[in-house]
Structure 1
Amino acid sequence: MALNANDRSIARFTMLGHSLVHWYEMSIPIFLVVWLVEFDVSVTVVGVIVAIGYAPVGLGALPGGILADRYGTKRLILCCLAGMSLSFLALSLATSIVVVALCLLCWGITASVYHPAGLSLISTGVEERGTVFAWHGIAGNLGIALGPFVAATGLLFLEWQFVAICMAVPGLLAVGYGLRAAFDPTAAAETDGGGRGREDGAETDDTPSLSGLVSQTRTLFASAFALVFLIVALEGLYYRSALTYLPEILHGLPAMSGFDPPAELEGIEPGDYIYVGLLVAGMAGQYVGGKLTDRVPAVRGLIGCFVLFVALALAFIPVSSMGAVPIAVLCGVFGFVLFAIEPFYQDAVAVYTPAESRGLSYGYTYLGMFGLGAAGVSLGGFVRDAFPLSTFFVLLATFAVAGVLLSVRLLLADEAATTRPTGVAESADD
């Protein structure tokens, strides 16, 4: 089914925002190498500095969701784009590592509001939600790939300060586009049980107090959303652990030694080719997953993806010694499934929460995804250091098995709710 005009307008706006969030996010590690030399600091120090920028992206998701419900999603996304761009402009003026840290902190704070605001906008404004979730995810993957590529290429010819300025320009242009974009942010709210609509960008008159926020949170977590939150957190553990350590794992595999790059690309590790291929396959996964959400219930899609997660993680153990081609094929399938699950859990949030608290719901969702999911990085690092490689993949499979069990629990709860006799519910209410 073709997207209507409102769906297309929201899709363009959110795709632009999503790609730029990851454009900036993935360019930062490229600058890290330069800052080591520029400011004569250790890897540990620069690692802490970068963590200062990344931490608010997860921690700020919840307040970002609250602000989205309070001030409107479009306004918040525009502030996000402007804040990220201005942070990189300020970064170009940094004369010390402390200033770099402050600029990255500002970037992380402003970037943190995008996911709850952008996904809330799609869930309440778009009729063909699954399709737009798919294109939205593809745009994010495009930013993931292009950000580091443009930054690394720019550093071959320019000082890092000028590259930072160049990185800021797309965000400023996006703000100009967003100011002119017109759409109805609540066009689809009534179709999924949403409440009263409002003009986006206007403050709501029913903003909850602190006690109201606590009450709204209790209501959310007393519902099926509690299971969705845990499912997303487990996906975050799997996702963060896999994407953080796969490049290092691929570089160290003896089976990769027979895979030689072309002469003109001498110096690039073979594992880098495969990792980029994984991300490219993820774009296809995003699209297919999004299209399937229009045809397959979100919870069934989650079960299927987690089952594949288990199989793929365990398959890495024997395949890692089979040679470059089998490893590349497995990584391609892995990337496809790893990103195919994203539209399903995004849709699940929309299915299991009311429209009037959608921003808060996505705030909690990405607190689980980026905040709790980041724990997987620390745990994965410990396992990589202390145990054989196979243990790391068993750890990933364990996360996925837990995801299967919780998703099945959600499915059973759905089936129980649909088969419960009406008279029982009515008598309980009496």
Structure 2
Amino acid sequence: MALSDNDRSIAAFTVVAHALVHWFELAVPILLVVWLAEFEVSMTLVGVVVALGYAPFGLGAVPAGLLVDRYRTKRLVVFCLAAMSLAFASLAVAPSIYTIAASLLIWGVAASIYHPAGLALISTGVEDRGTVFAWHGIAGNAGIALGPFVTATLLLFFEWRLVIVLLALPGVVATVYGLRARFDPTAALEDTVAADAARTNSPTAVVANSRSLFASSFLLVFLVVTLVGLFYRGTLTYLPEILHGLSTMADVSSPIDLEELSLGDYVYVWVLVAGMAGQYAGGKLTDHVPVPRGLVVIFVVLAALALVFVPVAGLGIVAIVLFCGVLGFALFAIEPFYQEAVAVYTPADTRGLSYGYTYLGMFGLGAASISAGGVLLEAFTLGVFFASLSAVAVVGAAVASLLVLNVGSHSSVSSSSPVSSDDD
């Protein structure tokens, strides 16, 4: 089925914004190396500085969700693009590591707005949500892959302050484009749902809405997303280092004779590229496969993949490349399913709050696997690390199975309460 004009307009708007969020996010680790030398500070201090930017990205999702339920989604996304771009550009004039920290903090607060706002916009404005969620996810992966690649490449030719300005320019262009974009943000809702813009976000209403959400099937969705976040962060944070340490990788010379690059870097990029295909396939499948069953199947696949990593690592480079392609495909195929689950199991008038809690679980609570993974890799074997990830996926499959049993008791978009209009 071809996308309608409104679906295409929302898709283009959110695809551009989502790619840029992760474009900025993944440029920072490359710049971290530059700041270490530029400001002659310790890795510990720079790590804290970068954490100041990443922490609000996840922790700010719930407050951002409350804003989404009160204000117009398009304007919030445009504000997010403008604020991110300006905050990132301000890094170019930072005189010290402490002003770097201030700029990154502002960037993180601005970036936290996007996922609740962008996903709420898709869930209420798009008829063919599965396809648009797929393209939306692919755009995120493109930003994840291109952000560090473009940053590293530009640093080969230009001074880092100029590189930051060049990286910020696409955000400025996207902001201008967003101001000119036109679409109906409530096209997927029933007329009676879209009619009334009245809503309160008083503390009492927020508490009541939160209690209502977590007393419903959304609690299971939240647990699913948190478990996805634990597997996702644990895998992608340590996979580059794990690949570098494999004897199979060390036996194969890099196709580029640069000391900073290794074959493991190329394989890691391959994981992200394969993830783009997984995003698209997962999004299309949400139109044909019940969301809870899709979640169960993908969790089971991820559990099995984690268990066989160590045996596969000893089979040679071809086996590793094939394995990483399947891992990347499955790891990102699950994203459209949990995004669709939020749209299916929550009322439209709390959609922003729902996606806020979702990304608190994904980026906030899910980040716990970073510290836990470091302990496991340092104190135990690689097999224990991947067995732990497999256990996380098994628990995820069990929780998703409860959604299968509870499939008849959810709230859908069409039966939700009124939502605000977004006349642009």
Shorter-chain TM-score category?
Answer: over 0.9
Describe the SS at the equivalent of 1:186.
Answer: coil
Which of 374, 381, 403 is the equivalent residue of 1:381? 374
* Alignment-mate amino acid for residue 299 of structure 1: P
Matches within 5 A, 1:15-414: 15-190=15-190, 195-197=193-195, 204-264=197-257, 267-414=260-407
Q: Spell out, residue by residue over 1:98-122, the C-alpha distance to the aligned partner (whole angstroms, 9 max, x if none).
A: 0000000000000001000000000
Counterpart contact for 1:195–1:354, Cα < 8 Å: no
- Counterparts of 1:6 and 1:171 in 2: how far apart (Å)? 23
Deviation of the 1:261 alpha carbon? 2.0
What secondary structure does 1:65 align onto? helix
5+ residue gaps, structure 2, are 411-424
Tell me how far apart the structure 2 counterparts of residues 289 and 223 of structure 1 sit (CA, whole Å).
25
Letter in 2 for 1:270: L
Contact kept, 8 Å, 1:120 with 1:362, in 2: the verdict is yes
Structure 1 residue 324: Cα displacement: 1.6
Percent identity between matched residues is: 62
Which amino acid in structure 1 is aligned with residue 187 of structure 2?
Answer: A
The amino acid across from 1:372 in the alignment is: L
The structural deviation recorded for 1:185 is: 0.3
State the TM-score, normalizing by the size of structure 2.
0.95
Residue type of the partner of 1:210?
P
Which secondary structure state, in structure 2, belongs to the residue aligned with residue 223 of structure 1? Answer: coil
| Letter matched to residue 43 of structure 2 | V
Count of paired positions: 411
Alpha-carbon distance in structure 2 between the residues aligned to 1:360 and 1:414: 22
The residue type paired with residue 49 of structure 1 is: V
Give me the whole-angstrom Cα distance separating, in 2, the residues matched to 1:263 and 1:344. 38
Residue 267 of structure 1, CA deviation: 4.8
Listed as ranges, the gaps of 5+ residues in structure 1 are 199-203, 418-430
Q: CA RMSD in A?
A: 1.5
Shift of 1:266: 6.2
Runs of 4+ in 1 over 6 A off after TM superposition: none
Are 1:6 and 2:16 matched, yes or no? no
Instruction: Output the CA distance in 2 between the equivalents of 1:155 and 1:289.
Output: 35
In structure 2, relative to structure 1, the CA distance for the partners of 1:49 and 1:263 (3 Å cut) is closer
Match of 2:416 in 1: none
Answer with 205-214 or 268-277: which moved more: 205-214
Whole-angstrom CA distance in 2 between matches of 1:37 and 1:280:
31
Give the drift of 1:319.
1.0
Deviation at 1:195, TM superposition (A): 2.7
* CA–CA distance in structure 2, aligned partners of residues 87 and 369 of structure 1: 24
TM-score, normalising length from structure 1? 0.93
1:262 and 1:150 mapped to 2: Cα distance?
19
C-alpha deviation, 1:263, in angstroms: 4.8
Q: CA deviation at 1:282?
A: 0.2
SS of residue paired to 2:115: helix
